[in-house]
A and B are shown apart, each in its own frame.
Chain A
Amino acid sequence: MLRRVLPALVLLFLAAPFAALITATDWRHFTLQTGDGTAIVTSLIAAILALMIIAAIGTPVAAAMARAQGRRRIVAEILVLLPLLTPPLALGILLAIFYGPIGPIAGVLQHLGLVLSNNRAAFMLATIYAALPTYIIAARAALAEVPASLTDVACTLGQSPAQIFRRVTLPLARKGLAAALSLAWIRAIGEFGILLVIAYFPQGMTVKLWVNLQESGVAAVYPLLWIFLLLALPLPLWLGSATRRNRVM
C-alpha cells in the first residue's frame, strides 16, 4: 500500500505549488510586462548557444575524465566540482573579479574587444559557466559506462578516435549524454545568481522575473513564468523520449 501511495504523495508535494500557480494566475488579464519579450529572446538564444558550446567543449573533457585514473582524475574532478558546488551568487562575484573590467585579464580581454560586464558576452559567460560543470559531471558518468573493450576493438578495426566516438561511444552513451544535455539546459535557462552579478543587463527571463516582482508585484511574475515553463520544458522532454526509443544505428 505504502509503495503505491508514497510516490503519489511525493509527486503531489512537487506539483502542489504549480497548482497554486494555475489558481493565482489572472487568466482574464494575462499580459506580459514591458521588456518581457526581449528577456525571453535573450534567454532562449543564450541558452541554445550555450548548450551547443557546452556540448562541443564539455564532451572531450568528460571523455578524458572518464578514462583518467589516479591523481589526474581527482584533480580534474575537484576542478569541475568547485564551480558546481559554489553558490551561484558567489560564482557571479568570482567571475566578476576575474573576468570583469577590473580583473587581472581585463587588459587581454579588452585587446580582444571583450568587456565582460552587463552585455551579451557576459550573459553568455554566465550561462556557460553555470551549466558546463553539470554537463561534464553527467556526461563523464555516461561515457564511463561504455566498456573499454568495445573502443579497443574498434581501434584494432582501423577506426580513428573520431570514428570510434561517432560509431561506438556516442550511440552507447546517448541516453546518458541526453540526460547530461537536459540537466545543462535546465541550469543554463534557469540561471539567476551569476547573471544578477555580471549580466543584470541585457535582462534575461530569470532577472526579469525578479525585476517584475520588485517593480509591479507578484501578479506580474506569473505570465512570464508561464512562458518560461512552456519554453524550457520541451527540450528535456524531447531528449528523454528520443533516447528511450530503441534505435539501431
Chain B
Amino acid sequence: MTLDIDLTIPAPIALHAQFSIRGFTALLGRSGAGKSTLLRALAGLIPASGTPFAGVPAEARRVGYLPQGAALFPHLTALQNAAFALRGPARLIQAQSLLDSLGVGALAAQNAASLSGGEAQRVALARALASNPLLLLLDEPSAALDAPARDRVIGELISEIGKRGIPALASTHDAAMAGMADWLVVLADGHIAQQGVPRDLFDHPATRDVAALVGFTNFIPGQVIGRDEAGLIIKAGSVVLRVSGHYDYPPGALLLLTIRADDLTLDGSMQNLLSGIVTSVLQHGSFVRLTIRSTSGIDLDMLVTYRTGGACKTGEHVTTHLPPDRIRIVA
C-alpha cells in the first residue's frame, strides 16, 4: 500500500515532488499549485522524469485516473463505462459485478450523463478498477459533490478503495477531505511542503502555507526574548506571549506564531491576553466569527460559539486569550 514518488515536471507548472503514497493519500494544495499537473504526470498524460513509471506510456501504466467530475463517457451506459477497459465475452458480467460491489449495480442500464455526482464517481471508480490498477489517481473527488452528501460520499469512497488495498492519491483544496485520508501530502511553491498523518499536520504544520491550508488563520510575527521549562517567551508587537513546548530557538530569533481561530477564547486568564476592539462580527452557522484589532497592532480572527460571542458588537472592547499550548511556530 506504500508507493514512493520522485517526480520532476517541467511544464505547465514546474514541480519537483518527492513523497510517499500510503493508503488513501490526500494531496492538499491551493488552486493552481499544480495538484492536477502532478496527477496527470503520474498518469503519464504530461511529460515528467523520475519514478515510478519512468518511460512507460500512459496506456501501459496500469494507473486508474478519475479526473474532476468523474469524466464518464456520456454516450455510454454505466455498465458500458465500467466495461470500457475490459475484453472478452465475460466483460459485461465482470463490469456488472464491479458495479454491484460498489453499490451502483442497479444503475447499470442508465445513461452515464443521467447519474448524480456521487453515482458517477462510483461508476468511474468501477471503470478504473476494471483494469486492475497499481495506483488510483483522483482529481478533486469532492468538487462535483453537493455539500450535505460530500463527507459521506468521500468517506465511502475512501473505505471502498481501502478495502481493495490499492494505493490512491486524491488531490483536494478542502482541508475537511484531507483530514479523512490515511496520509496527507501538502503541495506548495512547486514542492512538497510537508507530509504525514493528517492529525500531525493539522496539529503541527511545518510552514505558513501548510498551516493556512489546514485551517490556521492567525499569523503573528514575534521575537524570542526568553526560555524556561514551560516553553518560549516571545514578544509580539507590544505584548509578551508564552508558547508551551520544547524549542531550541535562541533569544533574539524571529519567529512566526500561528493559532486556530477556534482556539482563541474570551475567558479571563492571567497570561497571553490581547485586548482590542471588535471590527467585524459574522454569523458562521452556529458559530460567530469575530475580527479583533488588538491594541498591540495584531489582527485576530476568532471563532466562538453563538452562546459565547453572540452578544459581541462591532466597536466593543474585548480581551482575547491565546492558550500557550495551542500556539504553533511555523517556518
Assess the A149–B67 pair: CB atoms within 8 A: yes
Report whether B111 and A149 are in contact in the complex, using a CB–CB cutoff of 8 Å: no
B127 and chain A: residue at smallest CB distance = A157
CA distance A66 to B111 in the complex (A): 27
Could you tell me the distance between the alpha carbons of A168 and B65 in the complex, rounded to whole angstroms?
16
Contacts of B45 in A (CB 8 A): 152, 155-156
Inter-subunit contact A158/B73 (CB<8 Å)? no
Q: Are the C-beta atoms of A154 and B84 separated by less than 8 Å? A: yes
Q: Does B60 contact A (CB under 8 A)?
A: yes
Our pick among B65, B77, B111 for the contact of A156 (Cβ within 8 Å) is: B65
- Of the candidates A155, A159, A172, the one whose C-beta lies within 8 Å of that of B74 is A172
Known: A149-B69, A248-B111. A156 touches B75 (CB 8 A): no
Q: Is the CB of A168 within 8 A of B61?
A: no
A86 in the interface (beta carbon within 8 A): no
Within 8 A of A (CB), among B50-101: 58-61, 63-69, 71, 73-77, 80, 84-85
Task: Please count the residue pairs between chain A and chain B whose beta carbons lie under 8 angstroms apart in the complex.
Answer: 62
**Which residues of B lie under 8 Å from residue A172 when comparing CB positions?**
73-75
Residue of A nearest to B64 (CB): A156
Chain A interface main SS type: helix
Which partner residue on chain A sits nearest B67 by CB separation? A149
In the assembly, what is the distance between CA of A153 and CA of B205, in Å?
Answer: 35
Interface residue ranges of A148-190 to B (CB < 8 Å): 149-150, 152-160, 167-168, 171-172
Contact present for B67 and A158 (CB under 8 Å):
no
Q: Does A19 contact B (CB under 8 A)?
A: no
- B71 near A157: Cβ-Cβ < 8 Å: no
Interface size on B, residues (CB 8 A): 29
Would A152 and B43 count as touching, CB distance under 8 A? yes
A157:B75 contact, CB within 8 angstroms: no
Docked CA distance A156–B61 (Å): 7
Report the Cα distance A155→B65, complex, angstroms.
10
- Take A149-B71, A172-B75 as given contacts and tell me if A156 and B84 are in contact as well, using a CB distance cutoff of 8 Å: no
Q: Bound state CA distance, A171 and B74, in angstroms? A: 10
**Complex CA distance for A150 and B127, rounded to whole angstroms:** 13
For residue A60, which residues in chain B have a CB less than 8 angstroms away from its CB? none
Do A150 and B71 have beta carbons less than 8 Å apart?
yes
Cβ proximity bits A76-92 to B, threshold 8 Å, 1 near / 0 not: 00000000000000000
Is B321 on the interface with A (CB-CB < 8 A)? no
Cα of A168 to Cα of B75 in the assembled complex, Å: 8
| A147-B43 in contact (CB<8A) | no
Instruction: Enumerate B28-66 residues with CB–CB distance to A below 8 Å.
Output: 40, 43-45, 58-61, 63-66
Given the known interface contacts A149-B71, A168-B73, the answer about A157 and B84 at a Cβ–Cβ threshold of 8 Å is yes
- Of B44, B67, B111, B130, which one neighbours A153 at CB under 8 angstroms? B67
Q: CB distance A147 to B71 under 8 Å?
A: yes
The reply to whether the CB of B131 lies closer than 8 angstroms to some CB of chain A is yes
CA distance A158 to B132 in the complex (A): 11
In the assembled complex, the Cα of A151 lies from the Cα of B75 at a distance in Å of 13
B59–A152 touching, CB < 8 Å = no
Measuring CB to CB, which residues of chain A are less than 8 angstroms from any residue of chain B?
147, 149-150, 152-160, 167-168, 171-172, 248-249
Beyond A153-B127, A167-B84, A248-B76, 13 extra complex contacts between A and B, CB < 8 Å: A150-B73, A154-B73, A154-B84, A155-B45, A155-B59, A156-B44, A156-B59, A156-B63, A157-B59, A157-B84, A157-B127, A157-B130, A171-B75
18 A-B pairs within 8 Å (CB atoms) are namely A147-B71, A150-B71, A152-B40, A152-B45, A152-B67, A153-B66, A153-B67, A154-B84, A156-B63, A156-B65, A157-B131, A158-B59, A158-B85, A159-B59, A159-B85, A172-B75, A248-B77, A248-B80
